[in-house]
C-alpha cells in the first residue's frame, strides 16, 4: 500500500535580520575538542560549505525542509549526502519504525524481514537474483572486491570515482600499507578523453584484473554507448564489472544506473536511498556470482538489524508504486535550466552540470578557483533559506515545484549581488 505524503509548508520561514549561528558555533567549539574531524563524515565538515555564513549543525527536518540548532529553516539539497530520497520524516520510514519497534532491533537468529526485504530489492534491481545486506557503502564495495577476486582468481582492481574509504580504494592515504597500492589503479572519468584511457587500461591489465568498480562522475553525463563498451571489455577479459550505485541507485531511474544506461553489471553495490536514510547497503547480482559469497568470510552482525530492513522493504515498495525518479528528474532539469539562465543573465561563470537528479554546481574546473567563487554563493543562498553543497547536490521526492522556483529566483538574486 502506498504511504500517504505528509502535508507541510513548502518554503522556509524567512530569516529575520542577521543569521543566527550562536548554538552552531558553540557545538562546533565542543566538537573540535572531542570529535576527530568534527563530524562522522568528511563531507559534512564546515569547511566544505561557507564558514561563518552557513549553519554547522541541524536539529530536525520534515520533507525537504530542515531546521538548524538556532531555529532557522532551509530547503535541503544536501539531502543526507543523497540518502534522504524521500525527504525527512517520511511515513515509509517513521511509521514503519513505530510499527516494528516493539518486535526488537537485533535478534539472535535471522528474522523473516531478511527474506522479504531481499525479495523487494531483487524486484527492482536489473539482473539481480541474489543479494546481501551490509551497513555502509564502503562495506558493500569492499565485499564486491573480495567476491570479484574469488570469482576470477585475479587480484588487481580498477577503481573509478569514490568507492569508499577502505584500504584498496584509498591506497595513497596515510595509514595504508604501501603494498596495497600495487593492486589498485585509480582512474577518473571527468573528461571525454578519460574514457579511452579506462578502456585501454582494462586491455593492458586484463590478465591480472579482477574487477572494474565504477562510480559515475557527476560533472558530465556518460553515454550509454561508452558504458556498453566497458561492459563488453570486462566480459571479453573475465573481469567483473561492478557498478557502484551507492549514490545512483533508485535515483537516476527506478532500476538505477543499470536501467538508465541499459547495461547490466556483474555486481551492483547500493546504499543511501535503499532505505531512505536508515543505515543500510547491499550488493546484488546473478546467482552464479552472488552465491559464492557463502564461501567467503564476509559477515556483519548488524546486516540483519530488523528496523532498518523493515524500512528498506517499505521504501522499496514505495519506490515501485510511485517511481520517484521521474519526479526527481523533472525537478532537477528545471533547477539546472533555471539557474543556468540566471547565471548567464548575471554574467556569472556558475553552471549546473550533470544528471538532472544529481545537479553539479561548478564555477571552474580548477578546484581552488571553484571553491573561492562557490563559497560566497553558498553563503548567500543559506541566508535566503537554501542549503547547497559546493559541488554535488541532490533532488529528492519531497522537493516541490514551488521550492525549485524559489531556489532559482534566489540564485538569480545572489548571483546579481555577487556580480
Residue 27, pLDDT > 50, answer yes
pLDDT digit string, tens, across residues 122-167:
999 999 999 999 999 999 999 999 999 999 999 999 999 988 888 8
- Rounded CA-CA distance 189/64 in Å is 31
Residue 409, pLDDT > 80, answer yes
Residue 388, pLDDT > 50, answer yes
Which is more confidently placed, 92 or 44?
92
- In this prediction, residue 282 carries a pLDDT of 97
- Rounded CA-CA distance 405/28 in Å is 33
- In this prediction, residue 341 carries a pLDDT of 98
Q: How many CB atoms lie within 10 A of CB 115?
A: 11
Least confident stretch, 255-264, 279-288, 292-301? 292-301
What letter would DSSP give residue 38?
A: S
Average pLDDT over residues 331-348: 98
pLDDT digit string, tens, across residues 221-233:
999 999 999 999 9
Average pLDDT over residues 62-70: 97
pLDDT band with cut points at 50, 70 and 90 for residue 3: very low
Average pLDDT over residues 39-66: 90
pLDDT digit string, tens, across residues 164-201:
888 888 888 899 899 898 999 999 999 999 999 999 99
Residue 304, pLDDT > 80, answer yes
Mapped onto helix, strand or coil, the DSSP state of residue 291 is helix
- In this prediction, residue 56 carries a pLDDT of 95
- In this prediction, residue 210 carries a pLDDT of 98
Q: What is the mean pLDDT of the chain?
A: 94
**pTM tops 0.75:** yes
- In this prediction, residue 1 carries a pLDDT of 31
Residue 9, pLDDT > 80, answer no
- In this prediction, residue 2 carries a pLDDT of 37
Of 195, 208, 283, which is closest to residue 238 (Cα–Cα)? 208
- In this prediction, residue 44 carries a pLDDT of 82
- In this prediction, residue 385 carries a pLDDT of 97
Residue 121, pLDDT > 90, answer yes
Residue 289, pLDDT > 70, answer yes
The b/e string for 199-217 (b: 16+ C-beta within 10 A; e otherwise) is bebbeebbeebbbbbbbbb
Domains of the chain with bracketed CATH:
22-82+324-418 (3.90.1150.10), 91-322 (3.40.640.10)
Amino acid at each position: 500500500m502506498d504511504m500517504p505524503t505528509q502535508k507541510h509548508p513548502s518554503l522556509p520561514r524567512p530569516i529575520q535580520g542577521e543569521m543566527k549561528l550562536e548554538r552552531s558555533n558553540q557545538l562546533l567549539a565542543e566538537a573540535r575538542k572531542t570529535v576527530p574531524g568534527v563530524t562522522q563524515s568528511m563531507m559534512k565538515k564546515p569547511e566544505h560549505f561557507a564558514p561563518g555564513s552557513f549553519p554547522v549543525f541541524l536539529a530536525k527536518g520534515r520533507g525537504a525542509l530542515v531546521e538548524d540548532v538556532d531555529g532557522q529553516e532551509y530547503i535541503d539539497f544536501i539531502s543526507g549526502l543523497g540518502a534522504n530520497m524521500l525527504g525527512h520524516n517520511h511515513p515509509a520510514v517513521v511509521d514503519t519504525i513505530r510499527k516494528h519497534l516493539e518486535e526488537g532491533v537485533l535478534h539472535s537468529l535471522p528474522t523473516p524481514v531478511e527474506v522479504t526485504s531481499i525479495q523487494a530489492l531483487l524486484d527492482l534491481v536489473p539482473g539481480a537474483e541474489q543479494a546481501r545486506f551490509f551497513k555502509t557503502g564502503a562495506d558493500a564495495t569492499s565485499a564486491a572486491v573480495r567476491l570479484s577476486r574469488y570469482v576470477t582468481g585475479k587480484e588487481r582492481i580498477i577503481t573509478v570515482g569514490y568507492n569508499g574509504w577502505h584500504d584498496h580504494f584509498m591506497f595513497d592515504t596515510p595509514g595504508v600499507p604501501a603494498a596495497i597500492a600495487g593492486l589498485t589503479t585509480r582512474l577518473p572519468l571527468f573528461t571525454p578523453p578519460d574514457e579511452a584511457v579506462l578502456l585501454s587500461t582494462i586491455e593492458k591489465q586484463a590478465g591480472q584484473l579482477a574487477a572494474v568498480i565504477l562510480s559515475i562522475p557527476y560533472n558530465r553525463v556518460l553515454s550509454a554507448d561508452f558504458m556498453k563498451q566497458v561492459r563488453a571489455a570486462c566480459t571479453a577479459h573475465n573481469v567483473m564489472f561492478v557498478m557502484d550505485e551507492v549514490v545512483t541507485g533508485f535515483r537516476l531511474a527506478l532500476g538505477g544506473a543499470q536501467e538508465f544506461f541499459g547495461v547490466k553489471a556483474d555486481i551492483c553495490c547500493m546504499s543511501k536511498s535503499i532505505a531512505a536514510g536508515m543505515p543500510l547497503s547491499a550488493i546484488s547480482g546473478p546467482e552464479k556470482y552472488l552465491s559464492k559469497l557463502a564461501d567467503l568470510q564476509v559477515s556483519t552482525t548488524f546486516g540483519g538489524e530488523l528496523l532498518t530492513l523493515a524500512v528498506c522493504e517499505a521504501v522499496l515498495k514505495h519506490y515501485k508504486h510511485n517511481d520517484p525518479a521521474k519526479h526527481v528528474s523533472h525537478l532537477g532539469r528545471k533547477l539546472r535550466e533555471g539557474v543556468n539562465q540566471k547565471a548567464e543573465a548575471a554574467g556569472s561563470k556558475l553552471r549546473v552540470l550533470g544528471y538532472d537528479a544529481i545537479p553539479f554546481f561548478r564555477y571552474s574546473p580548477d578546484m581552488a578557483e571553484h571553491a573561492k567563487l562557490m563559497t560566497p554563493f553558498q553563503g548567500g543562498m543559506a541566508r535566503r533559506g537554501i542549503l547547497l553543497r559546493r559541488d554535488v547536490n541532490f533532488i529528492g521526492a519531497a522537493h516541490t515545484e514551488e521550492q525549485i522556483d524559489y531556489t532559482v529566483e534566489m540564485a538569480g538574486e545572489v548571483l546579481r549581488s555577487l556580480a
